[in-house]
Amino acid sequence: MAIHPTAVVAPGAEVHPSCEVGPYAVIGPQVRLGPDCRIGAHAVIEGDTVLGAGNRVFPHAVLGQIPQDLKYGGEPTKLVVGDRNQFREFTTAHVGTAGGGGVTRIGSGCLFMANAHVAHDCQVGDGCILANSVALAGHVVLEDHVILGGLSGVHQFVRLGRYAFLAAGSVVVMDVPPYCTVQGDRARLAGLNTVGLQRAGFTEAQGGRIRAAYRKLFRSKLKLEEALGELRAEMGAEPEIAHLVAFLEGSRRGVTR
């Protein structure tokens, strides 16, 4: 175990022998660090926080502090992080609240660029990228492989569907459908994330079905409920369309159009 002599590791913390902890880093008593984690200089990990294997926390990042929620009363809540994530400089991610389920959860293989913020009770999937100074408000849900451009912000309780792409500076106040690109303040749909789908290995047939679904949902004169009904009947057996339909049917804040 490589722990710098100036680092502060509290009694009770569980640090795997393969971890590295840099100068002046602080590891709280309830923290558990999995194999091969690297904690940079001056980073702070507090609270009931669990990091899986191979995570890298860069200098001055802060994980596991209490929520920025005035209703929080000190109740025991958690931050749970998967494997192989990167938290760049000054990134913050907070524990959950009792009213939001008690757990802020981050998947695996994500990149949080400098100054990114993950608020209480957020649920972040695998392979997500938050560029510089992206801010997620409380209770936000990111499905897998969502990319958020720099300086974008997401309103509380909003959901971002898998392979969605937010252009830089977007302000998102309603759910973003899977596979779609949005931009602007307040954000509006700007088409499909075709580059992201190609990079993810979606076939031409899958892409064709997604394009057809997009046209029916957002370019026809059908009401959303009518379009969803037709999609379910025509292509509901296809996994990518079934996921899209289920996502839109589960929206509570409304859908970005």
Contacts 24+ apart (CB under 8 A), 241-245: 241/209, 241/210, 241/213, 243/161, 243/162, 243/178, 244/161, 244/177, 244/178, 244/179, 244/210, 244/213
Amino acid present at 31: V
Residues 48, 83, 121, 126: which is the catalytic one? 121
Active site residue 196: no
Rg (CA), the chain: 20
Dist. CA 202–CA 211, nearest whole Å: 12
Catalytic residue, chosen from 120, 139, 144, 149, is 120
Question: Catalytic residue among 34, 138, 150, 196, which?
Answer: 138
229 is catalytic: no
- 121 noted as active-site residue: yes
Helical pair 204-218 and 224-235, crossing angle rounded to 10 deg: 150
| Amino acid present at 170 | S
Active site residues: 120-121, 138
